[in-house]
Chains A and B, each alone.
Chain A
């Protein structure tokens, strides 16, 4: 399959030239220099790292403290109530798991679709996926009334012969998220092996060499190893790709299988998947834009990447807008007064109207910027837009969950929801944990898939594509 992929690259050269406005990699001196550049953050710490690491670490401690409060005092320390039995916690869960989608999308989906520009950013995306999933998988457990019994959702052969209820989407949720996490971890780690070996080979000092040596699993870089590696990697990509679709589809069923107005909808699986990738892309951009600048990766992560990610956001954002439209249309067309009320009264005019309109503006208007090429490569615009989408997608989940629950069928049970300090600490803390893990990743793990970039470089030379030399001013910035 790999050879086929390479062949096709050559064959579709003309088409590619037309599509790729920017080179996917600028000329780098040689592979050794590239390796040194990518690995240098592991050996030499930047000055900003420690303060960032400590701040995010403190936030992670807040996360643990808030979890402790939840476990010891009970779920009542959150703001949830009846009717809003799911609120901030599930919003965080869906949001984090959505963010976790872009990683696998970029690394697995794009591999199968032969998008070679993915090579420079897939490590970022995969790591992000992993850390987002760590957060995402914590929330449903925290959210249980009796979290110490979370394993009852797993089909294990219990003495009493009781099984989970397979009619409910939640056991499937557990299965989908844990599968996704496992596959993402394997995929990430497999991709890391050659780079860990490179780190081992370049590590100063015996201790680091040994540590990286252990994690490199004895990689020697023989052609046989490479052959097995490519096959395994492609197979895993094939396995991971349907998961991108399935995980958020199943998460969406947590809502779609109910009869709550605003949840009861057949459009939810694709709607959720698209939204997930959308938010994940925003997160990837938010992570690579600073990294690209701080670690001088502009030759590897080029305008092509930024532009492509922006285009993908435009596409997924438009699909999301279409989903919003469909949902509204069906609410009206169904003639169901409850659905109608939720879509056209409760959400746009109800107690959470501000969040609803913020969601619409952030998620639909923002990507419209990316019709313009200049906007797609302007890092400030990209970062700002990603931040908006990042927030907008959290609002979307909040509107879907709280915005539907707080006003359902009987007006007698309607009630406002407000988060408690624990809710807010958990969200801030989970962001802290994410940053903490990501900073640790930047510090100790090769942040760019070295072997893939080198291969891309090689491929492009093979194609005899004239490697464009970056303008001097651009290189300096």
Chain B
């Protein structure tokens, strides 16, 4: 395990789901589906869970996770905002959920979802990577693991000099740790 470096476990950028800046949320979801279908699952059982957003120079400018997609499609209006505000005042999840049930719009979240997704632009919902989300491809996995845990990141963007070359996913690091544990068990 301690011999691994980031580039051993990373998913190359070419295999990852990416869309151009200006794409719609629907296009991003399609890109994710396509990447999942084409991905080689021989070495890892884990699906891709995010889409990278590239600018016209093919540089990564953001990341849209599955959580980000769900967040994007939640209705946003005065009523939902009021309930979000109320949650700041220390009420229980149960009470906040009962308010959501009471006041939720007659139209559900999934009504008209296709139309909504074709209007939304990815850059409005993507997360811009922070400085702590980049890691050099030659970094040891041990050190990268610290970065993932301390920053609570689901993935790190892997760099080679100025260039972004891939993504180190928490799921792949976890799989490597798991294999190391099992190897240890067999050796003993």
A binds B: no
| A interface residues (Cβ-Cβ under 8 A, vs B) | none
| B interface residues (Cβ-Cβ under 8 A, vs A) | none
